Structure 1
Amino acid sequence: MDFYNNAGKMALGSRLRRLSDQITEDAGQVYKMYNVGLQPKWFPVFHALSQGSDKTITAIAEEIGHSHPSVSTIIREMVKQGIVLEKKDKQDGRKNVVGLSKKGKEIVKDIAPQYQDVTSAIEAALSQTHYDLWKAIEEWEFLLNQKSLLRRVQDQKKLRESRDVQIVDFTPAYLNAFKQLNEEWISKYFKMEAADHKALDHPQKNIIDKGGHIMVALYNNEPVGVCALLKMADPDYEYELAKMAVSPAAQGKSIGWLLGMAAIEKARTLGAKKLYLESNTILQPAINLYYKLGFKKVVRRATPYERCNIQMELVL
């Protein structure tokens, strides 16, 4: 057990597999002790079929929470041992159903004492533990159904890496990054337009000197994301959130979120009441980010961009 104590919780899967292997090995010996011709891995399918009428493989898979290929393999093995029969559905000849054979039904009768003794043995073991393993498993199954372990690790990775992201103000040193990061995504999905060239070629003159701001995201001191606040001559909006771009190599670190939050906070400090943006619904991750930031769709306005098909606002 020293390995698991040293490895810690990151060895959870290995430890559970070790426990599962130990229990499965004992289960195999239990079947032999009671002269029951089953394998431990067949039990979920056998139990499902022992509860009622014939079923399709799909129905069995859904009932026991296994994959269709896994159940198909088990059914083939049980058919080979004469425990299960596969036949056409009487109501729908296009479907095959499976059910217990005469041998399988005899096992149902013979296995009753084993069920009783195994249940009593497990209950006795549970009574000797401080934590109820059965209830703990139920809790873990519920939690992992809500969010998988993979998703939880992805979230932690994103959180850890986001702590190494710095949001800084634009300086001439970031001119190329501002232009290249935006040109990269625009050219990938659309075409560069006159308004793009105007803002990206001369950001100092056409954004900052006109009262706007540009924020740069640094990861390991390298510029990997940019975002601008454009000053608007509009009675409804003071600033437009625009020219947000994140390097594909740096995605998954919450950089878009951090840039968006930084831009929103900047707009607030400048006294803005609303923030405006334009985008295209083909950019689904970006649209999802804007909704997450609190933006809502607004009625279409005049725009200099051909690619714009959605406009949004955020009330600050």
Structure 2
Amino acid sequence: MSWLVTGGAGYIGAHVVRAFQKAELAPVVLDNLSSGIRDFVPSDVPFVRGSILDGELIENLIDDHEIEGVVHLAGFKYAGVSVQKPLLTYSQNVTGTAVLLGAMEARGVDKMVFSSSAAVFGSPDVDLVTEETPTGPESPYGESKLIGEWLLRDQGVATGLKHTSLRYFNVVGSGYPDLYDASPHNLFPLVFEALLRGDVPRINGDDYPTPDGTCVRDYIHVADLAAAHAAAALRLSTGEAIETVYNLGSGDGVSVRQIMDAMARVTRIDFEPTIATRRAGDPARIVASGDRASRDLGWTMRHDLDEMVRSAWDARRSAE
């Protein structure tokens, strides 16, 4: 029996695939390569190029590879861009998830780990986000992820689907030198590309009510995130009790200034970031508790900030 990993050729998905291999959960990848990279998928892992909007393809894939469960990462993930492209976001993330669930139901596959997002919370006015914090997404992307969680919930009631959703903030670092974050929207690659061009990275606002005046966020290492997905799949496979939602958070967070300082230390490129005005809608602090995931999934922050930066920097340079 195998596990289908949708979006398994992406930065996060490729790490999940290798975590599944380590856990002896045979992965099969489905990816349309709109943002994924084919070489990220190990040569010994079955790969199917296709869309989660193609229900017939998914049903045939389930039959061909004896799929017992699905880890669902595929989708349109850029929160800012989703405001300009809401229909694309809903098509990929809501309709795509519904089609995937329909194919699973048609073929009797009853286990799913959903890669959700802390974007479902919006800008919560709390010091520490927990699973009980009210949701309030502020972008089509966040809304689409919350609807995805609702779809799983309702399928659980209707068909007995066993499921869990993992919510997380900023994913950074690399677990392997050949896997890197190529996103044009994420902070780490944006800073790296600026440094490689000889430009000076920018901080948007340094007058927030935080210790150093810059925004504080959760940053988690991609290998730790991938391990949590594998742990959740194992619990579903063995029939152990599992919660429907887990936050994968650090509990304390780091500031943008701290990240810039770590970038200078690790890259050995001495720079002083420029300070721009605040971006509209940026809350001062969003940090989540990972206590529930620690209890059930063995979740822990195994990498400090410098290790996150160093692994990401090494992977980015190896891509040249």
TM-score, with length taken from structure 2: 0.18
Q: Which has the higher contact order (CA 8 A, sep 6+)?
A: 2
